[in-house]
Structure 1
Amino acid sequence: MATILHIDSSARQTGSLSRQLGAELVAKLQAANPAATVVRRDVAQNPLPHITEQLIGAFFTPAEQRNADQAYAIKTSDALVDELFAADTIVISTPMYNFSVASTLKAWIDHIARVGRTFQYGANGPEGLVTGKKVYVVVASGGVYSSGPAAGYDHVTTYLAAALGFIGMTDVTFIRAEGVSMGEAAVADAIANARSQIAAIAG
């Protein structure tokens, strides 16, 4: 049975376009595959702990050699990695905050980027181990960053493409809702454009 992992990261529980459009995409994907299971993880409403020295120590200590504190510290990360591997499709809904992702989404990345579990180093350098996944990222931003003078400020799509690709998830499609701080007409255009992209993907 297919599994869709949906990650929300907007601090706004209401009025969030990334949440709204991400939910619409998941609904479309589920309609196309009614047997699919949807696993939802809201890293804004239920924030993950940020990386600590103790957790880093646990990452680099073999499981059989971890002390009780390290074993406890790594439980969340292990659960997130298991959840990721179990998914066939990943949908990430994220706003742009100060040109990058929310710290809550960054914390999720920090927990799943694990040497020996989601990537490894070999003779040819790093190799991602989370393969065979399809990833959709819904991005909402106040300005326009896909092109034009502000394109160099986009550290959402560039960062996520690099971080996800590093651990093996290279099939990533970005859906943008841009310019939502530029007035009602711009918001309507952004929503219509994003919905057009969603319809093309899941239709």
Structure 2
Amino acid sequence: MSKLLYITANPKKEPRLSKGAQIGEVFLETFQTEQPDVEIERMHLYDMEIPRIDMDLLYARAKLSFMGYTFDQLSDGEREKYTNMHALADWFIAADYYVFVTPIWNLGAPGILKEFMDNMFLVNKTFISTEQGPRGLLTNRKAIHIQTRGGIYSTGPMADFEMGDQYVRKALTFLGMDVMDTIVAEGMDHFPKQTPEIMAKAKEQAIEAAKAMAKRTITT
């Protein structure tokens, strides 16, 4: 049975409050129609306790990677946080498909998404270092990002300032994933009267993208 992780980074997780969640639900419904046996697991980041890279985690990673310590020689706090980080990464790695739903905030994604993704960059688990540079190990996963934007970032003077979708795509690509084209609903704050048609277009894109993702073969 394949598994899909649906990851949302918005305090407004209910579809009636979140336009991104409305688009995401359309994606999920379509995907499940195409793959009825898929297991869908929802990860609402604002409901989770996400390990943050603090002093304990910095020292734990350094001690184990190049300072010659064993796991048992770490402090209690270091061991706990290091274990939690790897447990979260193991949970993430266990999926086949990934759907990220975020708004753009202050040119980027919500900070909680970066905290979450910091737990996924683990050498020899999600990527390795080679003579040619780092190589992602999550090569048999498919991912897509759904992003809502109040302004216009796809063209015009703000195009160079969009760093939320760029971060998500580059982070997942670094880890080795096959990342599909982003579904974007933008301009809803600038053109509120056009919101219904903007949303309708994004939902159509979500339907087509879900069908395309569901047809992609997962190779193990």
Given candidates 35, 42, 57, the residue that maps to 1:55 is 57
Letter in 1 for 2:159: A
1:200 corresponds in structure 2 to 208
Given candidates 16, 33, 36, the residue that maps to 2:35 is 33
Letter in 1 for 2:45: V
Letter in 2 for 1:48: I
Offset of 1:47 from its aligned partner?
A: 4.7
2:7 corresponds in structure 1 to 7
Does the aligned pair in 2 maintain the 1:59–1:114 contact within 8 Å?
Answer: no
2:190 corresponds in structure 1 to 182
How far apart, in 2, do the equivalents of 1:181 and 1:27 lie? 27
Distance 1:183 1:147, change over 3 A: closer
Does the aligned pair in 2 maintain the 1:176–1:194 contact within 8 Å?
Answer: yes
2:139 corresponds in structure 1 to 131
Does the aligned pair in 2 maintain the 1:161–1:170 contact within 8 Å?
Answer: no
Offset of 1:154 from its aligned partner?
A: 0.7
Aligned residue pairs total 203
Secondary structure at the residue paired with 2:196? helix
2:79 corresponds in structure 1 to 71
- The structure whose Rg is larger is 2
Offset of 1:48 from its aligned partner?
A: 1.7
Q: Which runs of structure 2 are paired with 1:37-186 in the superposition (5 Å)?
A: 37-62=39-64, 65-66=70-71, 67=74, 68-186=76-194
Distance 1:18 1:47, change over 3 A: farther
Determine what percentage of the aligned residue pairs are the same residue.
28
CA offsets 1:53-108 (integer angstroms, 9 cap, x no match):
21122234449812233221123321221122211100000010101000111111
CA offsets 1:11-57 (integer angstroms, 9 cap, x no match):
22341111221122122111211111011111123352421121122
Given candidates 24, 31, 34, the residue that maps to 2:26 is 24
Letter in 1 for 2:145: V
Does the aligned pair in 1 maintain the 2:24–2:206 contact within 8 Å?
Answer: no
How far apart, in 2, do the equivalents of 1:144 and 1:184 lie? 13
Does the aligned pair in 1 maintain the 2:51–2:85 contact within 8 Å?
Answer: no
- Larger CA deviation: 59-68 vs 121-130: 59-68
Offset of 1:132 from its aligned partner?
A: 1.3
- Larger CA deviation: 185-194 vs 30-39: 185-194
- Larger CA deviation: 33-42 vs 47-56: 47-56
- What's the TM-score once normalised by structure 2's chain length? 0.85
How far apart, in 2, do the equivalents of 1:74 and 1:40 lie? 23
**Cα RMSD (Å):** 1.8
How far apart, in 2, do the equivalents of 1:42 and 1:11 lie? 9
Which consecutive unaligned segments of at least 5 residues does structure 1 have?
none
- Larger CA deviation: 149-158 vs 165-174: 165-174
Does the aligned pair in 1 maintain the 2:60–2:78 contact within 8 Å?
Answer: yes
